[in-house]
Amino acid sequence: MSTLIPIFADHLSHDLSALQFSDKASARILMVEVREEAETVPHHRKKMVFLFSAMRHFAQELRDDGWSVDYIALTDAENTHRFTSEVKRALGRHDIDEIMVCQPGNWRVQELVKSWEEMFDLRVTLTPDDRFISAPAEFEDWAAGRKQLRMEYFYREMRRKTGLLMDGDKPEGGQWNFDKENRKPPKGGMDYPDIPRFDPDAITRNVIDMVAAEFPTRFGTLDGFHWGVTRQDALASLKDFVAHRIQNFGLYQDAMVGGEPFMFHALIGFYLNSGLLRPLEVCEAVAKVYTDGDAPLNAVEGFIRQIIGWREYVRGIYFLKMPDYKDENFFGNRRYLPDFFWTGETEMNCLKQTIDQTIEHAYAHHIQRLMITGNFALIAGIDPFKVHEWYLGVYADAFEWVELPNTLGMSQFGDGGLLGSKPYASSGSYINRMSDYCQDCRYKVSKRVEDDACPFNSLYWDFHIRNEDRLRGNPRLNMVYRNLDKMDAELREALGRRAKYVLDGLTPSKAEDYL
Ligand code: FAD
Ligand code: SF4
């Protein structure tokens, strides 16, 4: 009995269920670098380097561990660049009785894998992806019959299930959530710890050369690649985070500072999502810092909530709502994505800082994604699908199951409020409070309608006027509409004129230029 085990780029875990259920002596692993995936959206070149290099290192580790691995590189002459045809070729090379695949994280790929049984007339076994704390079916049970699917209640279930930060059946410290103590603005003169950087080895250097040659016009710089590409690197990054940054994570997780792309963030999303780290081991390492007395509860609880709360919750939403979720567009937004999303060429300093660091590192932290690029796209009325394609491409941690609910749901309110009770729209004043970006901007955050007024201000009001029929009546927006009602007609008109001027000045992007 011989088994073919295809392993995808986000399944780089040595304890993957498909491996656990297979016999090393007779199984054949298949790993492929396919253009089909690399070209669905313009993926950042550092993201491609990270994933291809991590795959190559993982394949080598499997071989060292005694597995037989067929590895098809992007530039292999025979590579057909599609998963299905590569499986077919592998079946031609080897005498295979069964295909065994760990449940893919992507809905489309999952459907593709299911189709192989009939196509190849072979048994296809999907093994559960037990690297998550909850299974999609468990989320479906939790969601059944609920009017609102609030993350906070799901998170409490996950706390009970894992026992993380629990004192018997009560939450540690007597509260489930310590956010009131978190989310402070940045303080001037703060020092930010250095982050771990890994010198590219020969494998990574080869991948960098390959990506440079194969994708010469693709989005994102290749210079200075410094992310880890192995489990060992990922564990070292986790160790560094718990030693130096978790202590301030909660307090400053929403703060933004010019020239400081990483601050106190963990920088582990891409390790978690590719399988190099496990969520539970990350949370246990962080919880230990609290029990050892080395980090406060507000920081540790805030962090663990992101992983066993938000991360698990968005995956549940994804599988519950796909495939239709992708097409949701509550506001009916149709505007093109401005070209500066790809180039960073804008005089709005908050956007420039966020996009420039995205170009350089394939990374921006949560509040930059939500309240700078996401907020701008929302209030400018950009097509949420275009926004989704951009986020899926540009971040090293972006995989559809986690990116889509965050972008289309949380950030663009495309699902009409399944994920959030109100749109994450803000004027410049929020950005000014939570960052130092406005100090170095050509626009004045205190102005609304003048030539040098912050564009976020007029767009913010224009967004609420434009979408009044959909949003008035939302209890969380009562204050916004009360303020609008008090506004005189002249100011409303001036805001509309200024918003139109800003929107007319946006140049459409040609995503195909970056492919
Ligand atoms: P930290 O800020 O240090 O947080 C620690 C970990 O918590 C993260 O690594 C991540 O695993 C988890 N986490 C935090 N927030 C979320 C969240 N909202 N959803 C899921 N997990 C979360 N995260 C991705 O992993 N992939 C994406 O493609 C992605 N796209 C996003 C798109 C938008 C528009 C927004 C607003 C958020 C998105 N996020 C995404 C969530 C979050 O921004 C990233 O997880 C985080 O910035 C990764 O950086 P970090 O590892 O330094 O995380
Ligand atoms: Fe951004 Fe407006 Fe502040 Fe400039 S003034 S950095 S555009 S919020």
Alpha carbon of 464 to ligand 1 centroid (Å): 27
pLDDT of residue 84: 96
Alpha carbon of 397 to ligand 1 centroid (Å): 8
pLDDT of residue 511: 64
Residue 60 lies in domain: 3-127
Residue 235 lies in a domain: no
Q: 438 CB less than 6 Å from ligand 2?
A: yes
Residue 295 lies in a domain: yes
182 and 302 in a common domain: yes
Q: At what angle do helices 231-244 and 279-291 cross, to 10 degrees?
A: 30
Q: Which atom of ligand 2 is nearest to the CA of 372?
A: 1
183 and 97 in a common domain: no
If one residue of 10, 313, 314, 406 were mutated to test the ligand 1 pocket, choosing by the most ligand atoms within 8 A of its CB, it would be 406
Quote ipTM for the complex. 0.99
Residue 22 lies in a domain: yes
pLDDT of residue 513: 65
Alpha carbon of 74 to ligand 1 centroid (Å): 28
Q: 443 CB less than 6 Å from ligand 2?
A: yes
CA distance 198 to 21: 33
Residue 271 lies in a domain: yes
Residue 63's nearest CA partner among 111, 106, 96, 28 is: 28
Residue 223 lies in a domain: no
162 and 67 in a common domain: no
The residues facing 48 across adjacent strands are: none
Give me the helices (H) in 82-230, please. Answer: 83-93, 107-120, 136-143, 151-162, 202-214
pLDDT of residue 36: 78
Domain count, the chain: 3
Counting ligands in written order, which one lies closest to the CA of residue 456? 2
pLDDT of residue 512: 62
Give the end of a domain, one of 127, 158, 179: 127
Among protein residues, the one with the nearest Cα to ligand 2's atom 3 is 438
If one residue of 441, 450, 458, 459 were mutated to test the ligand 2 pocket, choosing by the most ligand atoms within 8 A of its CB, it would be 441
Q: 441 CB less than 6 Å from ligand 2?
A: yes
Residue 226 lies in a domain: no
Q: 41 CB less than 6 Å from ligand 2?
A: no
314 and 364 in a common domain: no
253 and 140 in a common domain: yes
CATH number at residue 82: 3.40.50.620
414 and 471 in a common domain: yes
Residue-by-residue pLDDT tens, the chain, 515 positions: 799 999 999 999 999 999 999 999 999 999 999 987 777 789 999 999 999 999 999 999 999 999 999 999 999 999 999 999 999 999 999 999 999 999 999 999 999 999 999 999 999 999 999 999 999 999 999 999 898 899 999 999 999 999 999 999 999 999 999 988 888 999 888 899 999 999 999 999 999 999 999 999 899 999 999 999 999 999 999 999 999 999 999 899 999 999 999 999 999 999 999 999 999 999 999 999 999 999 999 999 999 999 999 999 999 999 999 999 999 999 999 999 999 999 999 999 999 999 999 999 999 999 999 999 999 999 999 999 999 999 999 999 999 999 999 999 999 999 999 998 999 999 999 999 999 999 999 999 999 999 999 999 999 999 999 999 999 999 999 999 999 999 999 999 999 999 999 999 999 887 666 66
380 and 251 in a common domain: no
Q: 428 CB less than 6 Å from ligand 2?
A: yes
Q: Where are the beta strands (DSSP E) in 248-400?
A: none
CB-based contacts of 312, cutoff 8 Å, min separation 6:
132, 133, 134, 139, 154, 158, 279
pLDDT of residue 181: 87
